[in-house]
Structure 1
């Protein structure tokens, strides 16, 4: 069931699971959120169709303004992995990224998750700020280490990605 939050009088944000028909709008949102990596429209369609329980889409007045794709890591069933976070330029400043993360970890599908992981390049200041703020708000511990290396994994075509891990204390997870 969609979750509705008011942001100001007459304006609401609707948080919901994506449906396959949302794939093209998500793809368009990501294209507006430079410098995010653009996946194919088909990839976004599959994320909606196959991973809808672990993804969130946010609408304001019928327009897609937020998106997080994620999944429960098959090799780590206690870990929620965040693949991508996108917030429309006209919805920035609302704390939407953190609100979407909180929304996702509150879902039943994530009830056994004690950690959240994502990868971030050292230069992506916005992502570092989001995940540090989220970790603080949850009372969690944030650690990172180089994981996908520029030369070894990206053949020099992309920067090293650091694996960021947020470990939730039991009481913070229960309060989420």
Structure 2
């Protein structure tokens, strides 16, 4: 094993653990325009949704995080809730790698569709999910989902539902 601060250490993608909750919370806080949830919710994700979520770790620090779960009403759908990558680590394909890592786990082998919500002006997330659909050689459909009125804040954008699939050759 190399020294703890070895800049050449590879990024490790893995399931989140309860000890990661605090780092994840602070990563999401730095990841505009994501809505920050309570630390408690991130601890729950690390314990209840660990098999369908991922962290990217580099140099003993969490630099990326995806929270996702299997939709209990559509058990062949993986819903990706949040994608966060440390601003200084963006543009390196970490989000794509984390999604691929989740899709290759035994717990997600029955997944036929990926769903997520994205605001219309979030160009980075739109590009990410278009690339995921292209990489998986499948469709991406957009529909209205959470309208602005549902948020009770006239400044909050609507959230479009993106559906990627069907997934054939994960």
- TM-score normalized by structure 1? 0.89
Unaligned segments of structure 1, at least 5 residues? 1-8
RMSD between aligned residues: 1.2
Q: Take 2:74 and 2:136, find their aligned partners in 1: how far apart are those partners? A: 20
Indicate the residue corresponding to 1:154 in structure 2. Answer: 151
CA contact (8 A) 1:67 1:85 kept: yes
Q: Take 1:97 and 1:169, find their aligned partners in 2: how far apart are those partners? A: 18
Indicate the residue corresponding to 2:4 in structure 1. Answer: none
Indicate the residue corresponding to 1:66 in structure 2. Answer: 64
Q: Could you say what secondary structure the match of 1:77 adopts? A: coil
Indicate the residue corresponding to 2:119 in structure 1. Answer: 121
Indicate the residue corresponding to 1:82 in structure 2. Answer: 80
Q: Structure 1 residues 20, 169: closer, same or farther in 2, change over 3 A?
A: closer
Identify the structure with bigger relative contact order (alpha carbons < 8 Å, sequence gap 6+).
Answer: 2
- TM-score normalized by structure 2? 0.92
* Per-residue Cα deviation, 1:4-54 (whole angstroms, up to 9, x for no partner): xxxxx9230111111111110000111111121100111101110111111
1:51 lines up with 2:49 in the alignment: yes
* Per-residue Cα deviation, 1:54-97 (whole angstroms, up to 9, x for no partner): 11011011111000000000000000000000000121121111
CA contact (8 A) 2:23 2:62 kept: yes
- More helix per residue: 1
Divergent runs of 4+, >3 A = none
* Per-residue Cα deviation, 1:83-131 (whole angstroms, up to 9, x for no partner): 0000001211211111111111111111000100000110111100000
Unaligned segments of structure 2, at least 5 residues? 1-6
Q: Take 2:56 and 2:123, find their aligned partners in 1: how far apart are those partners? A: 23
